[in-house]
């Protein structure tokens, strides 16, 4: 029994949805269940009391509540969720307006209109909820004051109608204020969470992905490579004689060198390729849909551009070079192995003159063992 209830409450919830989306799905499930149950029970009582029009109205509302819940479960999409919520709000509003007109049981029908503001604000959000509530308030005012008393089944005193409308406006205002505050708090929390997540994955100096972000990107691209049988290559670049630059210009200017070189590297990449700061003066390139030869060609182009474009540091031009080690990732050569091979190729390039691109496949076993 408890398992079935839990399954119903969390039906439609998905792990990849945002917490706010899943929370709304759960609330829709609960509200639909409560609305369906109450309207069915009240409809049954009205039927027993031979109040057939009221019974039919309540039974219809019960069916609509159930149907709206099934929509978001059977069709998991933003449009379906919007339709589901719209049906719930529309059904609630029509039902309460009918109860306002007919009086319901012993003229207690108008009491149900206080459900409208909080439900509408929660499901529709502040802006759409406010517009919807304004329209509902206008219609309710027309129903209460725009017709002769003889046109209604129920009869209310003027004092009751005015106090009903004033209290409804008060509840609407409080619901709108609460929803506005809740959305602002949620947006702020979401923004801070995204900022913290970005800081955790990005290098503060170059604004590139850091080592952690690069690892996550590699895992994602590797999974896509295996799934779609694509090519994937990586490269590690190291700034030549960077310690000399730091010792000569100072660490602050050394940081500026890293920033400018990261701009040179990233400006020469395709949109689908990724550049990350791997650590210190090392950078990692992730080339999607590219074999080792293609990565070597791209890096030769980047190396030549770096050689021909001196960096401007404090008004002075300085020439900086970089060495590159390249390796192709495959089903047989996983991420860790490819990183190790690229690192070995990089050290081979550094030991053999610097300012060059070295592919791991071009090195023999003896060279790799030495490095």
Among candidate residues 179, 281, 282, 292, the one labeled active-site is 281
d(CA 162, CA 154): 16
d(CA 357, CA 371): 16
Q: Classify the C-alpha dihedral 10-12-17-22 as positive or negative.
A: negative
Strand bridging mode 322-329 / 357-359: parallel
d(CA 73, CA 26): 11
Q: Which residues contact 168 (CB under 8 A, 6 or more apart)?
A: 113, 114, 116, 117, 137, 140
Angle at which helices 116-124 and 126-145 pack, to 10 degrees? 150
Q: Which two tokens stand for residue 43?
A: 């409809």
Q: Among this protein's residues, is 282 annotated catalytic?
A: no
DSSP alpha helix (H) spans, 203-334: 211-228, 242-249, 251-267, 292-308
Q: Which two tokens stand for residue 300?
A: 């030769």
Active site residues: 281
């Amino acid at each position: 029994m408890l398992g079935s209830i839990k399954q119903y409450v969390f039906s439609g919830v998905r792990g990849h949805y945002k917490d706010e989306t899943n929370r709304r799905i759960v609330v829709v499930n609960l509200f639909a269940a409560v609305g369906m149950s109450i309207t069915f029970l009240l409809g049954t009582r009205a039927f027993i009391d031979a109040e057939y029009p009221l019974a039919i109205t309540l039974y219809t509302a019960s069916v609509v509540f159930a149907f709206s819940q099934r929509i978001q479960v059977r069709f998991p999409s933003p449009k379906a969720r919007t339709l589901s919520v719209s049906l719930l709000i529309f059904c609630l509003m029509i039902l309460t307006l009918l109860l306002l007109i007919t009086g319901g049981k012993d003229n207690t029908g108008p009491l149900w209109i206080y459900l409208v503001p909080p439900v509408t604000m929660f499901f529709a959000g502040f802006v759409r909820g406010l517009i919807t509530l304004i329209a509902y308030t206008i219609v309710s005012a027309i129903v209460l004051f725009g017709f002769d008393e003889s046109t209604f089944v129920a009869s209310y005193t003027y004092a009751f109608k005015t106090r009903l409308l004033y209290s409804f406006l008060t509840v609407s205002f409080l619901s709108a204020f609460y929803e506005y505050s809740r959305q602002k708090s949620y947006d702020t929390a979401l923004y801070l969470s995204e900022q913290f997540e970005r800081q955790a994955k990005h290098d503060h100096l170059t604004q590139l992905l850091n080592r952690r972000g690069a690892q996550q990107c590699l895992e994602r691209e590797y999974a896509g490579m295996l799934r779609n049988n694509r090519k994937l290559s990586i490269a590690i670049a190291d700034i030549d004689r960077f310690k000399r630059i730091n010792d000569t210009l100072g660490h602050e200017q050394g940081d500026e060198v890293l920033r400018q070189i990261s701009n040179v590297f990233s400006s020469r990449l395709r949109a689908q390729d990724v550049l990350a700061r791997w650590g210190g003066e090392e950078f990692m390139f992730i080339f999607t849909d590219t074999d080792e030869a293609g990565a070597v060609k791209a890096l030769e182009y980047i190396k030549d551009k770096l050689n021909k474009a001196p960096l401007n540091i404090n008004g002075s031009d300085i020439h900086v070079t970089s060495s590159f080690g390249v390796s192709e990732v495959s089903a047989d050569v996983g991420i860790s192995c490819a990183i190790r091979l690229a690192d070995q190729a990089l050290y081979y390039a550094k030991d053999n003159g610097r300012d060059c691109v070295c592919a791991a496949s071009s090195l023999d076993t003896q060279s790799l063992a030495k490095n």
